[in-house]
A and B are shown apart, each in its own frame.
Chain A
Amino acid sequence: MCLGIPGRIVEITDPSRKLALVEISGVRREVNVACIAGDGPLDALIGAWALIHVGFAMSRIDEQEAAKTLEVLHMLREAQAEIEAMRLSAAE
């Protein structure tokens, strides 16, 4: 149900069957890209990142959203570090 892993599309292998080669940490596997193909030529997918589940690229990974999420996490870390620092200096 849930096991999906981000992978990068590196090559289109069979446009008629919407098959492409995806690379995950140096491992390659042929996957179906129908879900993320869109209307344009399949070649446009090369270099794109997608969530891979049971041999299908199910959803494109939105780089901007990923960056936003990480940003929130980092900001939280910085805010917490500041609070810690304030707490420590107040204790002195």
Chain B
Amino acid sequence: MRYADEFRDPVPRALLAAIAERCDAIGATEAAPVRIMEICGGHTHAIFRYGLDRLTPPGLEFIHGPGCPVCVLPMSRVDECVTLAERPEVILTTFGDAMRVPGARKSLLQAKADGADVRMVYSPLDALALARRHPDREVVFFGLGFETTTPSTALTILQAAADGQANFSVFCNHITVPPPIKALLDDPHMLLDGFVGPGHVSMVIGVRSYDFIARDYRKPIVVAGFEPLDLLQSVLMVLTQIAEGRAEVENQYARVVPEHGNPVSLAAVAEVYEPRDRFEWRGLGEIDSSGVRIREQYAAWDAERKFVVGYGAGPRAAAAPDGLACDEVLKGRLKPTHCPKFGVECTPATPLGALMVSSEGACAAYHQFRGARLESVA
């Protein structure tokens, strides 16, 4: 596979040796490691899938960030989605990841087993096509994801508007990356030395959105691709900045990420969406200006207006169940294995918390690739 295999070519020894040298130069040890947060859930998944945390020196600690949009879906939104799915006229379409997220009553997968018409799609365009094929049904698309995915639903709504496709709507749960990063940086308990930035969010929003991290918080951030060599090179670039006393925004993923993002995507998002004052993040609470909703002029394709389910309309979900350390793990303050319920009551088969639900959540990644017990598999 071109543009993928070359970046998975074994022989990362050079990169790992350079990373080890840089860690030594900084004076990072296992007892006092340099702490780098990978923001994006896809990066967390890649780190564990390729065993990168086992290959890098003990003086480097990966802190797993909150960039998993499925993990941070508020329970109340899942409940609203299930309620929508249970309407007989509705075909509820969704990405696969969202099917297993537990609501207060049930997950979408369980709703499907109970008879709701829930269908998995790869693209919101497939949901729109479904609406064309079933003029007698209401097709609702469960829109979630960060800025990577927001343009896809925006463009789909614009196509629906152009087509006059009335029986299609989006249940919008899109969120943005910079606000939770700022919230983490403002948290006095967070000790982070640098960031590996989300490559695919950045291909949409560009790299200038992270200037505040370098400028106001003096932390380096390197926007990274998703292949193992991309990640290792990005880590090396962060460590190099730290060693040289720099705090800049760098772009390791320049082959995909343009400096100023994608104009068509940004224009579509601006046309269709506007910011919400605040949005709840499971495990993190409410964060200002961290979510978007559909603008008034596209109300006809807004499932919230069509079906009268609104953010804040229903009761707020309870915070994480007792004994779970979701918010501590989400903020990177605790490792998944330090949560008392990890691997015991909270497992991929019986997820209790946000981070076990999606395969990109830190807990799920740990459990899947590391097992329920910390083992040396080097």
Contacts and interface: CB of A to CB of B under 8 A. Distances in A.
- In the complex they form, do A and B come into direct contact, defined as C-beta atoms under 8 angstroms apart? yes
A88 interface: no
Contact of B203 (A24, A37, A58, A68): A58
Given A35-B264, A56-B123, A58-B262, A2 B200 contact: yes
Contacts of A76: 14-15, 18
A6 B4 CA distance: 7
B160 to A, nearest CB: 12
Given A2-B200, A24-B1, A53-B149, A59 B42 contact: no
Size bracket, chain B contacts: 35 or more
B123 A6 contact: no
A92 interface: no
A20 B41 CA distance: 29
B146 interface: yes
A73 B233 contact: yes
Interface in B124-171: 124-126, 145-146, 148-149, 151-152, 155, 159
B3 A49 contact: yes
Contact of B1 (A2, A6, A66, A69): A6
A25 interface: yes
Interface string B179-220: 000000000000000000011110110000000000000000
A49 B3 CA distance: 9
Contact of B123 (A17, A25, A54, A80): A54
Nearest to B254: A65
Contact of B3 (A36, A53, A61, A79): A61
Contacts of A3: 42
A1 B1 contact: no
A21 interface: no
B95 interface: yes
A10 interface: no
12 contacts: A1-B42, A1-B200, A2-B40, A4-B200, A24-B1, A29-B122, A34-B155, A54-B123, A54-B152, A62-B255, A70-B6, A80-B17
Interface of A: 1-6, 8, 17, 24-25, 29, 31-32, 34-37, 49, 51, 53-56, 58-59, 61-63, 65-66, 68-70, 72-73, 76-81, 83
Given A2-B40, A49-B3, A69-B7, 12 more contacts: A1-B40, A1-B149, A4-B148, A6-B3, A35-B151, A51-B203, A54-B152, A55-B126, A59-B256, A61-B256, A63-B255, A72-B233
